[in-house]
Amino acid sequence: MKLIKTLQLFIVLFFLAGCSINLFREMADKNTDEALLYDAQKAVNNRDYDTAIDIINNQLGGSARVTTEAREILASAYAGKCGLNFLEFVDGLANATAGTAFQLASSPFVGTAVDSAYCLQSLQTIDLIGTNAERTVDQNAFAAVVGMVLMGSATRLYTDNTPVDGDGTPDAPDISCSLTDNQVDLVVLGYGYMSSNFSALGSQLGDSSGDTFSDSIAACESVAGSACQITDQSDITPQIRDTMRDLLNTQQYGVGSFDASSNLLIPAACP
């Protein structure tokens, strides 16, 4: 329950900060940037993500569009379009008492339609606020969680999509090994955002889930080093693509059946 309580608090603080508005803001001219930001935040809270995105991208003035508040709202709207409901995702992680990092990240999306590209847009929007060092802990924690969602939703979409939206099991043996470059790149980037911002979550994941993700990061870095923290698609190399396919195909860290009893065996996971 620790995971639910702490992340729910984080979610409320991060996304609903714009909701405690005084009467003057609520009664403001509906065409002002302040009123539009309020409407965009309200749309996100109502899961009307397209409206929120339209307001930020097409209705706000240029100076308001680049504010931290606008970018936080836009990032949350893109994350919602990706298929993310934070509370449901947190509940899914909290209820998954066993599983690998990729199983924990992908299981909340079994039976759910996802569009992983929107998660990437969410993360790229957060990057516009600043570097990891320049952002707040809450913003980096958000990036870590959406990174998990990106790697998890892409894993479910590309390894478990039969029947429609998956059933919790890979569609074929070694399916992770046959992911195209474009498919595995989404996993690489989600993993990179998760791992490079992981410390911002502190103990919020709880001992079990926290250790599971931490062990996965250590395993990836034992093979590919700092490439496991890549968040720019132009930096992705054939090596990290192969490492991610291998990691995905292990029973210790991914969704596959290869027994990587030692991290030295991970590069042999894909035939």
pLDDT band for position 19 (cuts 50, 70, 90): very low
Q: Which neighbouring-strand residues pair with 258? A: 250
DSSP category for residue 225: G
What average pLDDT score do residues 101-114 get? 92
Mean pLDDT of the chain: 89
Q: Which two tokens stand for residue 197?
A: 């911002």
Instruction: Give the pLDDT of residue 29.
Output: 67
DSSP H helices in the chain: 2-15, 23-26, 33-45, 49-54, 62-65, 68-82, 86-95, 101-106, 116-127, 137-159, 181-196, 206-224, 238-248
> In one letter, which amino acid is 96?
A
pLDDT digits (tens, 9 = 90+) for 21-73: 444 444 456 789 999 999 999 999 999 999 999 999 999 999 999 999 999 99
Q: Where are the domains of the chain?
A: 2-268
Cα atoms in the 13 Å half-sphere on the side-chain side of 130: 10
Between helix 238-248 and helix 181-196 the angle, nearest 10°, is 80
Q: What is the pLDDT of residues 130-182, one digit of tens each?
A: 999 999 999 999 999 999 999 999 999 999 999 999 999 999 999 999 999 99
Does this model's pTM top 0.85?
yes
Distance CA 89, CA 106 (A): 10
